[in-house]
Homo-oligomer: A and B are copies of this chain.
């Protein structure tokens, strides 16, 4: 992941609607959710949800697949992993304080 990609990914996560879309999709698991379901869950109009879904897909955060009339979105966890990697290793040069927050039982709230 290079600087431009990192900036785009941070930008993608800096909007409430998009952050909530991500969380709903994480909860949905491997089955993903349709654009309509997402639109309902985050209480956005279809066009607004579509705009944000496109934004997230462009940056690589989501993967989409048409299934007949519906379009299913899923999280691409690799892209979030890349972001975590970039944050820890590129930005912070492997800083121990940052790295310690990766563990499930760390001291980071």
List residues of chain A with CB under 8 Å of any chain B CB: 1, 3, 6-8, 10-11, 13-16, 19, 22-23, 26-27, 75, 77-78, 80-85, 87-95, 97-102, 104, 106, 108-109
Residue among A80, A81, A95, A109 with the most chain B CB within 10 A? A81
Give every chain B residue within 8 A of A94 (Cβ-Cβ): 104
Q: Output the least CB separation between A25 and chain B (Å).
A: 10
12 contacts between A and B (CB under 8 A): A7-B13, A7-B19, A10-B10, A10-B14, A23-B91, A26-B95, A75-B92, A77-B97, A80-B92, A80-B98, A82-B101, A85-B101
Q: How many copies does the complex hold?
A: 2
Closest to A94 in B: B104
Q: Output the least CB separation between A36 and chain B (Å).
A: 23
Known: A10-B14, A77-B98. 14 other contacts (CB 8 A): A1-B108, A10-B10, A10-B13, A10-B19, A11-B14, A23-B91, A26-B93, A26-B95, A80-B91, A81-B98, A82-B108, A83-B87, A84-B102, A85-B102
